[in-house]
Structure 1
């Protein structure tokens, strides 16, 4: 019995003996929390980037195949509203620009190349709106699409 007490005493006094579970939890949390935040942020950025790309592509397509200017404007507004809703974009941060090539022609013009650029800003998750941090901690995303306008398109 005396031997048994000695081995118990030596284990309790061993400086190498620690609480591995506590160390695992501490190190695990220090590594896991930033990793989870990174995955969530990258998923949000990817979703918004896909939305911007889809919006630019579909808006260019509906404008280039529209019959006239009023039809093109109506179709583009519907597509933009649909994309903003579907991808959860902030409608206030979405900026749409249209240009045509060659630059001397009206935009859109029959046979011209229509360039649609959709820009948006993606706020990072869990950034508080204190001192404008939410505006500073945002990622700009831009998508551009090029589409040839139908030669039968009319500006009237």
Structure 2
């Protein structure tokens, strides 16, 4: 009789269901966490580029514009809990003869950032390699009424 009970499958279905469920659930939860982090990073980078371009074209000078654009990127990334020190901000104005802040010049601001994947420990420098690079750019046109030294 004891050997018959050991070979019986009674009660093993629930154990198999729990094991299979955990094996499938853990990667699914991590996928949701990773996609949430990446989506938040994408929204942060896009918003940072847009705001930086807006404040740059309204600045009274290029130096003030660069400072305001960097501050806008810092604030936008901080809103999403991302470190702004890791972001690279590039300001480009194609075919600008008298500098970026001349009337009707298109100014493009590009923001690049590496978003780390969640729950990756910083063992052996894996946190740096286990990140996804994100990039966004936004273009704004300098107003036709813009004058040097004026602006909000």
TM-score, with length taken from structure 1: 0.83
Match of 2:33 among 37, 40, 45: 40
Post-superposition offset of 1:13: 6.8
Q: Distance in 2 between matches of 1:74 and 1:154?
A: 18
String of CA shifts for 1:120-140, please: whole Å, max 9, x gaps.
Answer: 001111111122111111000
Which structure has the bigger radius of gyration?
1
* Superposed counterparts of 1:1-156, under 5 Å: 12=5, 15-102=8-95, 104-155=97-148
Measure how far apart 1:81 and its partner are: 2.1
Shift of 1:43: 0.3
Contact 2:62–2:100, Cα closer than 8 Å, also in 1: no
Q: What is the TM-score when the length of structure 2 is the normalising length?
A: 0.84
Contact 1:94/1:120, CA 8 A, preserved across alignment: yes
Compute the RMSD of aligned alpha carbons: 2.3
Q: Using the TM superposition, name which of 99-108 and 123-132 deviates more.
A: 99-108
Which runs of no fewer than 5 residues in structure 2 stay unpaired?
none
Q: Secondary structure at the match of 1:131?
A: coil
**Counterparts of 2:81 and 2:75, CA distance in 1:** 10
CA shift, 1:111, in A, is: 1.6
Work out the CA distance in 2 between the residues paired with 1:92 and 1:74: 14
